Amino acid sequence: MRYPVLNPALLIENRKRFIKHLKPKSIAVFNANDYMPTNADGTMPFRQNSDLFYLTGVTQEETILLIFPDAFEEKYREVLFLRETNEKIAVWEGQKLTKEKATEVTGIKTVLWLQEFETIFNNLMSEAYHVYLNTNEHLRARITVETRDSRFINWCKAKYPLHCYERLAPVMHRLRAIKSPAEVELVKTAIGITGKAFRRIIPLIKPGIMEYKIEAELSHEFTINHSRGHAYEPIIASGFNACVLHYNQNENECKKEHVLLLDFGAEYGNYASDLTRCLPVSGRFTKRQKDVYNAVLRVLKQATKLLVPGTILKEYNDKVGLLVQKELVDLKLLSLADVKKQEKEKPQEEEKLIYKKYYPHKASHFLGLDVHDVGLWTQPIQAGMIFTCEPGIYIRKEKLGIRLENDILVTKNEPVNLMESIPIEAEEIEELMNSGK
């Protein structure tokens, strides 16, 4: 493997924490993700369901985890079902998990082949009152395909209509949002690889380089440092492209007058990192570019200090928006008269706030097994959570977009910038670009 498997002690502890959230006589089922098809007989690279991985560390398709703490027979309180392997599968696809290896990886003693699932599940359902099933309830998710979880929900409810059904998503959102020390270390490792990649590409940024060549260099650095690759589609956006928030075509030439926005992050052990930095293609910011850059950097530093326990994310984002608004006034992009008029009118719709023209997104998101990780947005921030902090200012008429982003660990004391070692000050960026190092 490119990286060590997770410590089974972490997975065992995750399952212990999960069980505490279940009602009595509850059975919970977690399904692996599907292989997603492309065309003909092609498939996309397999990506495991994050909840299943969180509880088992298994990256294999067609896997089911069943948890039933009150099962009469102890051996059925945790059961892992795997696709049965054979010599033909080993030849065509590679070696799959054996029962013994699965126990070693997960700490789960009862491992059965997938064809046994329906019989075992049917017997256990006679003991269960509540059934916890999983769906993707991320606020930004747009699901247009039927998932393995969706098919299982339909099958289960049709066969067992009188059980009480519960949602797994709120439980998993609460658990996964707070990272254990071991998880924090995995994120730190991903960040370390991301920092190496950033330093690798700095000397390469010159007029005429293509955006996709920069992406290729990042991919190379990730791979040789035991990363599975990009945690998300990287954004390599020069000039006006930086004003397109999710630009990822990465196909244009970087020109002398451009500022290059880089939004990328390595993944390690299935845990994500998420970095944004901006560099002047010429090696030096113009005065205007540096003014906007430093305005965003000031907001970033102030916004980071707000990520403390007890903070409500909506209130936090509102405060960051006002910080950006002040900088926009200083940059002559908004007038004080417009700000005072808005304060008097008090618009209820967020998109009508005047600063949204130059800062249309929010300042942070949860980070973990997914780059836009799950978490409860209506609950106060707690120690152990990891957030990005990523304010920006986008001036489309000037073809200038600046976003700066760090990954922040919330603690009982002050927030910890996990990307502190990655250069961010404008002068530091310029020095590195012109030093040849």
3-state secondary structure labels for all residues of the chain: CCCCCCCHHHHHHHHHHHHCCCCCCEEEEEECCCCCECCCCCECCCCCCHHHHHHHCCCCCCCEEEECCCCCCHHHCEEEEECCCCHHHHHHHCCCCCHHHHHHHHCCCEEEEHHHHHHHHHHHHCCCCEEEECCCCCCCCCCCCCCHHHHHHHHHHHHCCCCEEEECHHHHHHHHHECCHHHHHHHHHHHHHHHHHHHHHHHHCCCCCEHHHHHHHHHHHHHHCCCCEECCCCEEEEHHHHHCCCCCCCCCECCCCCEEEEEECEEECCEECCEEEEEECCCCCCHHHHHHHHHHHHHHHHHHHCCCCCCCHHHHHHHHHHHHHHHHHHCCCCCHHHHHHHHHHCCCCHHHCHHHHCCCCCCCCECCCCCCCCCCCCCCCCCCEEEEECCEEEEHHHCEEEECEEEEECCCCCCEECCCCCCCCHHHHHHHHHHCC
Q: Is residue 2 part of a domain?
A: no
Q: Which of 428, 425, 409 is nearest to 178 (CA)?
A: 409
Phi and psi angles of residue 189, each rounded to the nearest 5 degrees, phi first: -65, -45
Q: What is the C-alpha to C-alpha distance for residues 106 and 55, in angstroms, rounded to an integer?
A: 8
Same domain, 315 and 191: yes
Confidence of residue 1 (pLDDT cuts 50, 70, 90): low
Cα gap 376→139, rounded to integer Å: 10
Whether residue 48 contacts residue 58, with contact meaning beta carbons closer than 8 Å, is answered with yes
**pLDDT for residue 93:** 80
Please indicate, yes or no, whether residues 195 and 135 belong to a single structural domain of this protein.
no
Per-residue pLDDT reduced to its tens digit, 352-373: 899 999 999 999 999 999 999 9
Residue 284's contacts (CB-CB under 8 Å, 6 or more residues apart) are 430, 434
Please indicate, yes or no, whether residues 272 and 414 belong to a single structural domain of this protein. yes
408: pLDDT strictly greater than 60 = yes
Is the whole model's pTM more than 0.85, yes or no?
yes
For the cut 50, the answer to whether the pLDDT of residue 437 exceeds it is no
More confident residue, 108 or 93: 108
Residues 132 and 240 in one domain: no
Residues 191 and 154 in one domain: no
Do 155 and 263 lie in one domain? The reply is: no
**What's the CATH number where 59 sits?**
3.40.350.10
Same domain, 159 and 299: no
381 and 401 together in one domain: yes
Give per-residue pLDDT as tens, 156-209: 999 999 999 999 999 999 999 999 999 999 999 999 999 999 999 999 999 999
Q: Is residue 396 part of a domain?
A: yes
**Whether residue 366 is found in the same domain as residue 399:** yes
Q: Is residue 209 part of a domain?
A: yes
Q: Read off the pLDDT band of 2 (50, 70, 90).
A: low
Question: Is 36 found in the same domain as 114?
Answer: yes
Domain membership flag for residue 35: yes
436: confidence class by pLDDT, cuts 50, 70, 90: low
Nearest CA among 156, 424, 81 for reference residue 275: 424
Structural domain span for residue 110: 8-176
Residue 342 covered by a domain: yes
Residue 3 within any structural domain of the chain:
no
Total domains in the chain come to 2
Choosing from 176, 205, 225, the residue where a domain stops is 176
CATH at 269: 3.90.230.10
Flag whether 1 is in a domain: no
Same domain, 323 and 195: yes
Q: What amino acid is encoded at 256 in this protein?
A: K
Shared domain for 299 and 376, answered yes or no, is yes
The mean pLDDT value for 114-123 works out to 97
Tokens at residue 314, please? Answer: 């909506």
Distance CA 401, CA 245 (A): 9
Q: Which of 138, 154, 176 is the last residue of a domain?
A: 176
What is the pLDDT of the chain when averaged over all its residues? 95
Domain boundary among 149, 176, 203: 176
- Cβ atoms of 48 and 270 closer than 8 Å: yes
pLDDT in tens, 231-287: 999 999 999 999 999 999 999 999 999 999 999 999 999 999 999 999 999 999 999
Percentage of residues in the chain having pLDDT higher than 70: 99
Longest dimension (CA), the chain: 75
**184 phi, psi to nearest 5 deg:** -60, -40
- Cα 305 to the chain's mean position, in Å? 21
**What is the rounded CA–CA span in Å between residue 242 and residue 278?**
9
* Residue 306 within a domain: yes
